[in-house]
Amino acid sequence: MHEYSIVQSLLESCEEHAKANNATKVTKVVVKIGILSGVEPDLLQTAFDTFKEKTICDECEFIINKQKIVIECQDCKEESTLKKNEFTCPKCDSSNIRILDGEDMYLMSLEMN
């Protein structure tokens, strides 16, 4: 499960940001996970809850926002959010698309004291 290594890296990043901002606690962590990222949100939540103990994030709230797939059609230039994993343009039905969002995981924000 690579979610454990992701959480370790996330906690290290929280620690660095807290130190850089003279904070003693992280109270909220918000991440965005694309549905094509390969990261399982439930496993990530479990890993975060497990590893946050005795860290600067010990009592923080962990919020996961799931990002749908956003595409741009290379034929009609329409930008769309896919409702299903059907990789065609909803406007013109072309499969000549470029994925704009939904493949990555991002740390969106931290709240610190």
Q: pLDDT tens digits for 2-55?
A: 899 999 999 999 999 999 999 999 999 999 999 999 999 999 999 999 999 999
pLDDT band at 85 (very low <50, low <70, confident <90, very high): confident
Task: Give the per-residue pLDDT at 31.
Answer: 98
Q: pLDDT tens digits for 41-68?
A: 999 999 999 999 999 999 999 999 999 9
CB contact at 8 A, 45 and 65: no
Task: Give the per-residue pLDDT at 1.
Answer: 54
Q: pLDDT tens digits for 73-84?
A: 999 999 999 988
Binding residues for Ni(2+): 2
Give the integer Cα–Cα distance in Å for 70 and 94.
15
Provide the number of structural domains found in the chain: 1
Residues constituting the chain = 113
Binding residues: 2, 73, 76, 89, 92
- For position 45, which CATH number holds? 3.30.2320.80
Binding residues for Zn(2+): 73, 76, 89, 92
Domain containing 14: what range? 3-112
